[in-house]
Amino acid sequence: MAEFASITNFVDNSFYNTDVGFLKPSRFETKWNKLPTVGGYSDMESKLQQNIETISTPGFSISASEHAYNNKFTERDFGGTITATFFESGNLELKSYFWNWMEMIQGKQDQKKLSQRSYFVDIVGSLEVSPILNRVDYKTELDINKNRKEVFGEVFPTNVDGYSFNVGSDNEITKISVSFKYRFYKIVKSNDNKNFNE
């Protein structure tokens, strides 16, 4: 209880509390853009957005090597893996969709049309991860401009975990965990609607 009181006191007296608030792990939203239409599945952008439970975005770092006069920066590493958990539908729609998407990436689908595949249409999509401002009284354009989001370009799935079934889980919803790679990353203001795949 003492620790909670200390945190509350810290928040109440923090500059961020009077400005944009603090980032809370439960207050986020995702926006999936221009995902491939494969296996007969469509409107997957809204389905992934509605059914997401958790998402972990990667960190980033830089490397430096010794130089005769100063340090030389050699490489920037974004970590490269996004992990998301979704609530699965009763007909295995999400797992089937990601299966078909990964089959398309590997060229195992529509062999006759393989040469006609479009990289930005059939292979990759884009993703935005936005924290939701904690202060509900922020409604002006200036306040909205203070918020930022992470944007990932040329996103594609690389791993889909299996399901776990048991007879004692009648009141639970099965979840599916998916790992994604991406090519581009940036942090932008929340009203910046450009994405890498345009």
The count of structural domains within the chain is 1
Residue 117 lies in a domain: yes
**Token reading at 45:** 């952008």
Q: What is the pLDDT along the chain (198 residues), one digit of tens a residue?
A: 445 556 667 666 665 555 566 777 788 899 999 999 888 888 899 999 999 999 999 887 777 666 555 555 555 555 589 999 999 999 999 999 999 999 888 877 654 465 677 887 888 999 999 887 655 444 444 455 567 899 999 999 999 999 888 887 778 899 999 999 998 898 887 776 665 554
Residue 151 lies in a domain: yes
Give me the domain span that covers residue 169: 23-64+72-189
Residue 39 lies in a domain: yes
What pLDDT, on the 0 to 100 scale, is given for residue 138? 46
Dihedral, CA atoms, 105, 185, 23, 136, nearest 10 degrees? -90
**By three-state DSSP, how is residue 15 classified?**
helix
What pLDDT, on the 0 to 100 scale, is given for residue 18? 55
Residue 17 lies in a domain: no
- Asked if 58 and 78 count as a contact pair (C-beta separation under 8 A), the reply is yes
What pLDDT, on the 0 to 100 scale, is given for residue 123? 87
Residue 60 lies in a domain: yes
CATH number at residue 34: 2.30.110
- Asked if 27 and 55 count as a contact pair (C-beta separation under 8 A), the reply is no
Residue 16 lies in a domain: no
What pLDDT, on the 0 to 100 scale, is given for residue 76? 53
Is residue 158 exposed (0-12), middle (13-18) or buried (19+ Cβ within 10 Å)? Answer: middle
**Token reading at 194:** 């450009």
E strands in the chain: 28-33, 52-56, 61-65, 72-77, 82-87, 125-131, 148-160, 175-181, 184-189
Residue 35 lies in a domain: yes
What pLDDT, on the 0 to 100 scale, is given for residue 15? 59
What pLDDT, on the 0 to 100 scale, is given for residue 49? 94
Residue 125 lies in a domain: yes
